[in-house]
Structure 1
Amino acid sequence: MSAETPDYRDTVFLPETDFPMRAGLPAREPEWLERWAQIGIYDRLRERGQGRTPFILHDGPPYANGNLHIGHALNKTLKDMVVRSQQMMGRDARYVPGWDCHGLPIEWKIEEQYRQKGQDKDAIDVVEFRKECRRFAEHWIDVQREEFKRLGVTGKWDDPYLTMNYHAEAVIAAEFMKLLMDGSLYQGSKPVMWSPVEKTALAEAEVEYHDHTSHTIWVRFKPVDGALDGASVVIWTTTPWTIPQNRAVAFNPTISYGLYEVGTVQENATAKPREKLLLADALADAVMASAKVESHSRLRDVSAEELSGLMLAHPLRGVEGGAGEWDYDVPMLPGDHVTEEAGTGFVHTAPSHGDDDYQLGQKFGLPMTYNVEPDGSYRADLPIFGGEAIILPDGKDGPANVSVIKQLAYAGALLAKGKVKHSYPHSWRSKAPLIYRNTPQWFAAIDKKLDDGMGEYGDTIRTRALTSIDKLVKWTPQTGRNRIFSMVENRPDWVLSRQRAWGVPLTCFVKKGARPDDADFLLRDARVNDRVIAAFEKDGADAWYRPGFKETALEGVANPEDYDQVMDVLDVWFDSGSTHAFVIRDRADGAPDGIADLYLEGTDQHRGWFHSSLLQASATKGRAPYRGVLTHGFTLDEKGMKMSKSLGNTIVPAEVIKQYGADILRLWVAHVDYTADQRIGPEILKGTADSYRRLRNTLRFMLGNLAGFSEAEKVAPADMPELEQWILHRLAQLDHKVRQGYDAYDFQGVFQTLFQFCTVDLSAFYFDIRKDSLYCDAPDSVRRRSARTVLDILFHRLVTWLAPILPFTMEDVWLSRFPSEDDSVHLHDFPVTPADWLNEPLAAKWEHIRRARRVVTAALEVKRADKTIGASLEAAPVVHVEEAPILAALKSINFADLCIVSDLSLTADPAPNEAFRLAEVPGVGVVFELAEGEKCERCWKILPDVGTHKHPGLCARCDAVVSNA
């Protein structure tokens, strides 16, 4: 610009906004959290929600034990997106966060503290011990609450639910006593998953599987009467310690068995030449190889009839020092669980130490054994093995397995031995191996017919649960239905009891001297139940453990001397499974029917919280406590590997927030398909941050170009140019897709739809085209006013549509435009979008226009790349269009403005050979021409009329704007 040329920069309407390009989220997000707390945003939303249809997402309680991991962040962010979007779509979306407070992990931590001090936990008063556990839980609840809030999660944080609150403990006990009263509760002695390290039974959901190296043995069982030529029946097991508890050998009548004779053997083999063995034909070769047999022959078939009724000697019969403990016969019994997949085709059966074994024992009346103590050692008075540990306190293998193997060898019963690495059950808390152990436990009978007046969906817990799964619950994704259905269909009775101290006790009394199957074994009296509930409401479950409680509870009902007070505690899954009763049913912000609209957790909760809630509610409500279940997968590292501290690949939410801000972490959640396993890592987060920056620039452009916009400036849609009407059409389409996506919890779909719209339709198309009008048109021009009206419409929709995903950023954007002491974007609903904005004929026309524009912009890009031009405004292309309707469409608008060129010619003439074409847009050719004229100093278009107006450096449009300013 020469000294004589006026400076027109001040006459251009450039964007004005204080909204910064750099977000500074880590530093600024806490300001928004503080602001939301000051204006009481959650309670304000509840006030606004009065009269609306409630939507209740019931929070699956995390465990109050340790800092949050990335799985917590994913889960709570998803929940927050659900709640915020449902609220902004016009519902009263309530969210009460909660915590699971009882149970073994906390008790274990307190025990560790005692052990470090050299104290014996059993010497501590149980009520004092429980208080220690309560204080531990309270500490971590406070820590986790702040970490969850830092993620931007909105909820009733000042009044969450806790399973250790007195009312919660009273309700849990009341729900348990419903099972007592309807006859579902029984005490049974059966094998359960048992942790010798933690000395308690575990639920299925508390068990995880890891590789473990086990001893494996092949053992001879001899027929007692020399039947089958004295051939030995061979079993194979990976738990040698269970052999002293053997009570039978199982076979499958459908399997083909043979009588085999050993030929030659290797030097160190325990197999003997010419001995005869009974084996499944499919497994015989493998067994012989394991027994180091070099050659063998099959003598004949052995029928199921020959096996049935065959009596065998226990392999430890007559062992020195056995004191006759194992001098009993072992029957051969048919069992469907026997397969040809591994082993020998015969299964050693110890009814006290395996579910299949137990079921077979029940069917044929086999006796139970009680040889294994709670700490995983043999009972002290068991001959030979007394006091030996199966699992040591540190979780390692004890000497029991090796001792049993040695005795089998001494007795001549050991055919072969080895070791095998296989998947084995471990405690998810102590990580120590588990055993199946027969022990008296309390169970809920899930197939008992109930006469409780709640039979609409079935008359047993199982049938009600299965009916609920199929008819009452929407599963997202649908595969969740199949998973939980098969689990419930095949599961055994629910083990309710745990031999621990920190939990809600099994509030029942048993008659001294009575057997579990006696009618008067359990005291069933509503007056006693009411006293228990009242005591728990007043003093919590600690009341159960205080001296004199039994006497007070039974006063005037029964002689306390005749009854024992049960001191086991309830499985914590019963606690969390009961939350529907003391949260959804009992709270003022719950629902009268006690049924949630949605439960949302990881896929592992099909066997965890979804499962326990389903069983518990089927027993006490007659149906599932939820209408919808949404599940997410697990979070892996960038390579798809499971995160672990030892690998150093963990991503800690607090560290991500410190570096990027919570909104970036939330945007990552919206980026991924959470229904499957997702990945996260430094490179993925960088990509997420880049998407965020692009989106932020779109929002900043709108803010800058809306400066000073007022109601008086608005233009009615019918009076707008077609380009603006097309944007309104797209918004009407998006409104439908966004609402549909949020209702389907498809946050990935919502974000991708909006992100594509912002980057492709807006930034790369609409904004690019309309910059000229926004910056250079007269303020009162219809085109500029229309563009600003559309920007205002876009602003209200995009900022609210994105608020559930990016609550901090959208609050910042909203208040940048509408500063207020007590307003918030989160207090606004998604705007209603008029249906008549949809204009399919216009959309079809503009699809042709945009396709033709792509050819022009691609042709210009070639010229820019070869330095023929520096900017598109230097061009005045000739566009050849073969199809008359498309040519007419292009002529009906200012196509030059759309292509951001100074001039443009449209013609139906055939395109010359040198014309630029795009294969995907046939019938359109572009011939490049330079624009003629001078460059307007204000809008930079090159036009012939520049220099012919009052202001010599301006075009007609700019001259008029400056002259009338």
Structure 2
Amino acid sequence: MTDTQPGATTERDYSDTLFLPQTAFPMRAGLPQREPEWLKRWEDMDLYRLLRDESRDREKFTLHDGPPYANGNIHIGHALNKTLKDLVSRSMQMLGYNAAYVPGWDCHGLPIEWKIEEQYRARGKNKDEVPINEFRAECRTFAEQWVDIQREEFKRLGVMGDWDNPYLTMSFDAEATIASELMKVAASGQLYRGSKPVMWSVVERTALAEAEIEYQDYESDAIWVKFPVAEGAHPDAFVVIWTTTPWTIPGNRAVSYSSHIAYGLYEVETAENDFGPQPGEKLVFADQLAAESANKAKLTFRRLADVTAEQLAAMTLHHPLRGLGGGYEFAVPLLDGDHVTDDAGTGFVHTAPSHGADDFDVWMAKGRDIAARGIDTAIPFTVDDAGFYTKDAPGFGPDAEGGAARVIDDKGKKGDANQRVITALIAAGNLFARGRLKHQYPHSWRSKKPIIFRNTPQWFVYMDKDLEGQTLSTVPGTPSPLVGEGGSRSETDEGGATSSAPEGGLQQGAAPDTLRTRALAAIDRTRFVPPAGQNRLRSMIADRPDWVLSRQRAWGVPITVFVHKDTGEILRNEAINARIVEAFLAEGADAWFAEGAKARFLGNDVPDLQAWEQVSDILDVWFDSGSTHAFVLRNPQKWPDLKFPASMYLEGSDQHRGWFHSSLLESCATNGFAPYESVLTHGFTMDKNGFKMSKSLGNTIAPQDIIKKFGADILRLWAATIDYSEDHRIGDEILANTVEMYRKLRNSFRWLLGNLAHFQPGEAVAHADMPELEQLILHRLAVLDEEVRAGYRAYDYKRVVTTIANFMNLELSAFYFDIRKDALYCDPISSVRRKAALTVLDQLYSCLTAWLAPVLAFTMEEVWLERNPGETSSVHARTFPEVPAAWRNDALAAKWTRIRAVRRVVTGALEIERRNKVIGSSLEAAPLVAITDPDLAAAVQGQDLAELCITSALTLEEKAIAGDEAFRLDEVPGVAVVFRLAEGTRCARSWKVLPEVGSDPDYPDLTPRDAQAMRERAAAGLGV
């Protein structure tokens, strides 16, 4: 104490004698400014290479990167995807694996070619006038630029990988391997050129895969068409079909029905229309749809008789355009089809095998029956690549008056084909009704324009051809692929469809060895996260048609095969294949398009060069990316830390029909098994209202903007706390909640760091010598260690982060830290309690910085370096600490659950007094507590409840408290608390209110504990 003016006293300020937290770790993170510093640090120390060197002898965990297209800035979906991949790789590395991550890019195909064509169109330049390899060079340059841009954007997210040595599908070694994989498929007899209806983009002039399609609202012309019965029952009747593609009517070759549907013959009684049916006409409908169809044509009719399936099967029809241009005089059969329903339409399906998968399938399945009836089974090519009718559409083709009609023009707009067909049907008297229908229709996801289904020669891979005898690799540690002991012979029917004819050796019940059976068997051996992905991919493989590989484009890997012009035979010659691969390794795929390539590759191995056609189509980019396992995972010279099959493929759920799908088929075709052991899928990121993000809607959120405002760690924390397996949301409020979670975590680490400034490793307290409270926290660390490891192994990052955050906020900040502040700040230097608490804080720091490092990659590096300023390594070079099993003490935890229940009643009572402003601090209280529950009473026996409840004193009452003055909680029966103010004088150092303050004459304003602390400070020369 010091003298002051008479009548006034002043309390000495002892704050400089407390062990208060000391740290330069800022509460304001400044992540947008600081994160680039840590990125540079990792780059300078070559952290990725350091990890590879240190973990060379560990078990490999390989997450194989699905390549994004190199054609624009990354969006929020990219950010989520790459962050999830980084969470997987970092956590598996810290779990003790060698988790190398090699990023890659898909550089070929239409997305990039389309960009170059847009530039050409803007300059009035004609692509067809540019030499192909000059055009390809521009595509390569464009891709290289975006690879560099996206690389920096991905790195800024904190994604750690082999960024200096990524894979590119356009690198020469990749193009050589892709071509080699294609030639393996050809050599095994799985590749064939056939004719089938494929999804075709008129705007982009190429076939499209299912993965390149999106469905948008579209208004179609809908028509009901009458087909006159030519032969069979009811020769004076008409069979009526319904379609939303009038332009496909010239390609009609059959009408499909279902033998499981009831049909009837109806006679028109009244009609109110200009061109449709008139009274007395007889029409055949599915009974379920007759009334609805009549309404469409504004007529009434009466049912005359049943029309049986047998009668329908025996009928033939006239084409509704018969007589037009002399080209529709053929018979139109009725075919029984499983795809026909009576849910909508008329119960009959217009069947144009040139323009639909179901149409094609039923036509080919019934091919022999159709031919036996004297009907030509040839499939016409009615529409060309530009959407114009050909000569196979008489009356609408190039010889028609007015020239060829067009289905869709170069800009994706409707042409005149629909109207010209409708006009012709009216003239023929065969239009029943017309209308318009808004529905979901397939569009190209690049041009955003509608596509058509068009019969065109393409290159396919058989899904169901028996591959008996093909030499295959086997999956390490897994059963061999399913192979039947016999075989089957695949015969190619007209149009390129296949039918399988069993031969004698195939045992009953044995699965034939086909690409489909291999893929289905591989799916059954694969782990899916979430599990529903397995059934989704399985159903796609089970039902998919043959794989269309060809694209009519310029930028990509060519289909490197030669075909005999007369026989259609594919040339199979290992020497020629070797020359192709050698040339691609040296010059890239441009070598295929160079002048003299045909003679160069065929060399002297083929006597008649002119007899062979060099294929000019390029490979679907899904084959490129589906082959990445071959030139990345199986390339130990370039990437020795990777393994094959990969431990995991991870992409968005749309990749069940994309990369997961094509990679599975490609690997099963060339190896016999999947290229992955597990598949993880995530949903799509929606806006705050759950709507799909769209530039036109103005609801996009760019990851670059989030990083600029908050930092990448906030984006990473958001990614780790959503349920990524479902579609999820992001918006200002969601990000604000993420920032608040981050702030609380950061504050806890700041407090940890500040107190650990006083920790001396040589003074660490052994577990057995610690107070129960410290043993409880170490028990929780042991439990958390199991939960965190299990969460990371299950790729359940939400569970990991939520578990850690709840522990830090509820068990540390609001409980343990709160209780131990007094001991940490005020206890004497010799205090075992204080040293034990510091020892626990050291263990908390060790575990928490490691557990959160995969998520908060930047912040945990900052926390680690704050305590280890001269550290030359990184927090990311650690593995998760081994937590001693001896720390686990479930009995102690159960006891402390009861103690904390009692504490909850006490703190509840104090909170009421604080709200009522009776007290400002809990140290002003000395409550009376009665515990009548024997289990709770036994648990608190020997505990310093005043310390645990942060009061200056606390009295345990042996008998129950009656009346309303006591505070109780219904969920903790047997505990009652009566508030009492603490009696005595406030300690000037610890602020406890106790009667013994002043009992030490040397320190009349302190408690004996604080007085002893001052003496020890003086003895240690720390100053008082």
TM-score by length of 2: 0.92
Shift of 1:590: 5.0
Does 1:916 pair with 2:967? yes
Shift of 1:822: 2.1
Would you say the 8 A contact 1:891–1:906 is kept in 2?
A: no
CA distance in 2, matches of 1:818, 1:554: 65
CA distance in 2, matches of 1:574, 1:692: 42
* Alignment correspondent of 1:481: 534
| CA distances 1:35-91 after superposition (whole Å, capped 9, x unpaired) | 110010000000111110111000000000111110000000000011000001111
CA distance in 2, matches of 1:106, 1:380: 34
Does 1:299 pair with 2:307? no
CA distance in 2, matches of 1:772, 1:859: 21
Would you say the 8 A contact 1:191–1:438 is kept in 2?
A: yes
CA distance in 1, matches of 2:705, 2:233: 71
The 5 Å alignment of 1:235-250 reads 235-250=241-256
CA distance in 1, matches of 2:471, 2:705: 53
**3-state SS of paired residue (1:60):** coil
CA distance in 2, matches of 1:269, 1:728: 87
Shift of 1:271: 2.1
CA distance in 1, matches of 2:292, 2:17: 92
CA distance in 1, matches of 2:641, 2:862: 34
| CA distances 1:641-674 after superposition (whole Å, capped 9, x unpaired) | 1111111111100000011000001111111100
Would you say the 8 A contact 2:112–2:139 is kept in 1?
A: yes
* Counterpart selection for 1:540 from 583, 588, 591: 588
CA distance in 1, matches of 2:984, 2:939: 27
Would you say the 8 A contact 2:233–2:311 is kept in 1?
A: no
CA distance in 2, matches of 1:554, 1:656: 56
* Counterpart selection for 1:492 from 516, 540, 545: 545
The 5 Å alignment of 1:438-449 reads 438-449=455-466
* Alignment correspondent of 1:869: 919
CA distance in 1, matches of 2:89, 2:383: 50
* Counterpart selection for 2:738 from 688, 704, 712: 688
Does 1:463 pair with 2:517? yes
**3-state SS of paired residue (1:535):** helix
Would you say the 8 A contact 1:251–1:332 is kept in 2?
A: yes
Shift of 1:779: 2.0
Does 1:512 pair with 2:565? yes
Shift of 1:781: 0.8
Shift of 1:824: 1.0
Question: 1:647–1:89: structure 2 CA closer, same or farther, 3 Å change rule?
Answer: same
CA distance in 1, matches of 2:665, 2:121: 37
Does 1:525 pair with 2:573? yes
* Counterpart selection for 2:781 from 713, 731, 734: 731
Letter of the 1:43 partner, please give it: R
* Alignment correspondent of 2:707: 657
* Alignment correspondent of 1:378: 389
Would you say the 8 A contact 1:309–1:333 is kept in 2?
A: no
CA distance in 2, matches of 1:902, 1:848: 22
* Alignment correspondent of 1:760: 810
| CA distances 1:463-506 after superposition (whole Å, capped 9, x unpaired) | 11101111x21000000001000000011010010011100000
CA distance in 1, matches of 2:98, 2:603: 47
CA distance in 1, matches of 2:566, 2:938: 99
| RMSD across aligned positions (CA) | 1.3
Would you say the 8 A contact 1:269–1:291 is kept in 2?
A: no
* Alignment correspondent of 2:114: 108
Letter of the 1:453 partner, please give it: T
CA distance in 2, matches of 1:246, 1:5: 102
CA distance in 1, matches of 2:62, 2:273: 72
Would you say the 8 A contact 2:98–2:641 is kept in 1?
A: no
Question: 1:592–1:76: structure 2 CA closer, same or farther, 3 Å change rule?
Answer: closer
> Equivalent pairs: percent with the same residue?
58
* Counterpart selection for 1:705 from 749, 755, 767: 755
| CA distances 1:146-169 after superposition (whole Å, capped 9, x unpaired) | 000000000000000000000000
| CA distances 1:593-628 after superposition (whole Å, capped 9, x unpaired) | 621001000000000000000000001111000001
**3-state SS of paired residue (1:879):** strand
| CA distances 1:539-596 after superposition (whole Å, capped 9, x unpaired) | 1000000111111111121032221100100000000000001001114435686210
| CA distances 1:84-139 after superposition (whole Å, capped 9, x unpaired) | 00001111001000000000011111111112222211111101110000000001
Shift of 1:780: 2.1
Letter of the 2:211 partner, please give it: A
| CA distances 1:498-524 after superposition (whole Å, capped 9, x unpaired) | 01110000000011222x3xxxx1100
* Alignment correspondent of 1:409: 426
* Counterpart selection for 1:201 from 207, 223, 229: 207
CA distance in 2, matches of 1:570, 1:828: 44
**3-state SS of paired residue (2:314):** coil
* Alignment correspondent of 2:414: 397
* Alignment correspondent of 2:843: 793
CA distance in 2, matches of 1:720, 1:821: 30
CA distance in 2, matches of 1:42, 1:121: 43
Q: Which runs of 5+ in 1 are unaligned?
A: none
The 5 Å alignment of 1:637-676 reads 637-676=687-726
CA distance in 2, matches of 1:164, 1:24: 39
* Alignment correspondent of 2:867: 817
CA distance in 2, matches of 1:83, 1:679: 24
CA distance in 2, matches of 1:640, 1:593: 39
CA distance in 2, matches of 1:829, 1:780: 34
CA distance in 1, matches of 2:982, 2:280: 105
Does 1:421 pair with 2:438? yes
| CA distances 1:776-832 after superposition (whole Å, capped 9, x unpaired) | 001221000000000000001001100000000000010000012522111111110
CA distance in 1, matches of 2:672, 2:640: 19
CA distance in 2, matches of 1:713, 1:154: 37
The 5 Å alignment of 1:97-496 reads 97-225=103-231, 227-268=233-274, 270-293=276-299, 295-319=300-324, 322=325, 324-365=326-367, 366-379=377-390, 382-386=393-397, 387-450=404-467, 451-454=469-472, 456-458=480-482, 459-470=513-524, 472-496=525-549
Does 1:961 pair with 2:1018? no
Letter of the 2:773 partner, please give it: L
Q: Which runs of 5+ in 2 are unaligned?
A: 2-7, 368-376, 398-403, 475-479, 483-512, 1018-1024
Deviates more, 1:225-234 or 1:846-855: 225-234
**3-state SS of paired residue (1:611):** helix
The 4+ residue runs of structure 1 with deviation greater than 4 A are 1-4, 590-593
| CA distances 1:661-697 after superposition (whole Å, capped 9, x unpaired) | 0000111111110000110001110111011001100
* Counterpart selection for 1:615 from 665, 669, 674: 665
Letter of the 2:59 partner, please give it: T
Would you say the 8 A contact 1:56–1:598 is kept in 2?
A: yes
Letter of the 2:946 partner, please give it: A
Letter of the 1:130 partner, please give it: R
CA distance in 1, matches of 2:448, 2:951: 69
Question: 1:169–1:12: structure 2 CA closer, same or farther, 3 Å change rule?
Answer: same
* Alignment correspondent of 1:577: 626
CA distance in 1, matches of 2:658, 2:187: 25
Letter of the 1:54 partner, please give it: K
Would you say the 8 A contact 2:688–2:731 is kept in 1?
A: yes
